[in-house]
A and B are shown apart, each in its own frame.
Chain A
Amino acid sequence: AQSVTQPDIHITVSEGASLELRCNYSYGATPYLFWYVQSPGQGLQLLLKYFSGDTLVQGIKGFEAEFKRSQSSFNLRKPSVHWSDAAEYFCAVGARDSSYKLIFGSGTRLLVRP
Chain B
Amino acid sequence: DTAVSQTPKYLVTQMGNDKSIKCEQNLGHDTMYWYKQDSKKFLKIMFSYNNKELIINETVPNRFSPKSPDKAHLNLHINSLELGDSAVYFCASSQVGTVGLSYEQYFGPGTRLTVT
B37 smallest CB distance to A (angstroms):
9
Check A28 for interface membership: any CB of B closer than 8 A. Answer: no
User: How many of B's residues come within 8 Å of A, CB to CB?
Assistant: 28
A86 smallest CB distance to B (angstroms):
14
Within the assembled complex, what's the spacing in Å between the Cα atoms of A45 and B4?
11
Contact A98 B40 (CB under 8 A): no
Contact A42 B109 (CB under 8 A): yes
Q: Which among B31, B106, B110 is the interface contact of A100 at CB below 8 angstroms?
A: B31
Q: For chains A and B in complex, what number of residue pairs have CB atoms within 8 angstroms?
A: 63
**26 pairs, A vs B, C-beta closer than 8 Å:** A32-B103, A34-B104, A42-B109, A43-B90, A44-B43, A44-B107, A46-B104, A46-B106, A49-B100, A51-B100, A51-B101, A52-B100, A90-B43, A94-B100, A94-B103, A98-B55, A100-B31, A100-B102, A100-B103, A102-B45, A102-B103, A103-B45, A106-B42, A107-B42, A107-B43, A109-B41
What does the 1/0 interface line of A96-114 toward B look like (CB < 8 Å)? 0011111110110100000
A32 smallest CB distance to B (angstroms):
5
- Which B residues are within 8 Å of any A CB, using their own CB? 4, 31, 33, 40-45, 48, 55-56, 90, 92, 94, 96, 99-110
Q: Which residue of A lies closest to B104 (CB)?
A: A49
What does the 1/0 interface line of A26-42 toward B look like (CB < 8 Å)? 00000010101010001
Interface residues on A, range: 20 to 34
Within the assembled complex, what's the spacing in Å between the Cα atoms of A40 and B109?
11
B35 smallest CB distance to A (angstroms):
8
B41 smallest CB distance to A (angstroms):
5
Check A66 for interface membership: any CB of B closer than 8 A. Answer: no
Chain A residues whose C-beta falls within 8 Å of the C-beta of B41 in the assembled complex:
38, 88, 106-107, 109
Contact A43 B107 (CB under 8 A): yes
When A and B form their complex, which 9 residue pairs have the shortest distance between CB atoms, in order from nearest?
A51-B100, A94-B103, A44-B107, A43-B107, A104-B43, A43-B109, A101-B45, A99-B56, A107-B41
A4 smallest CB distance to B (angstroms):
10
Within the assembled complex, what's the spacing in Å between the Cα atoms of A31 and B56?
20
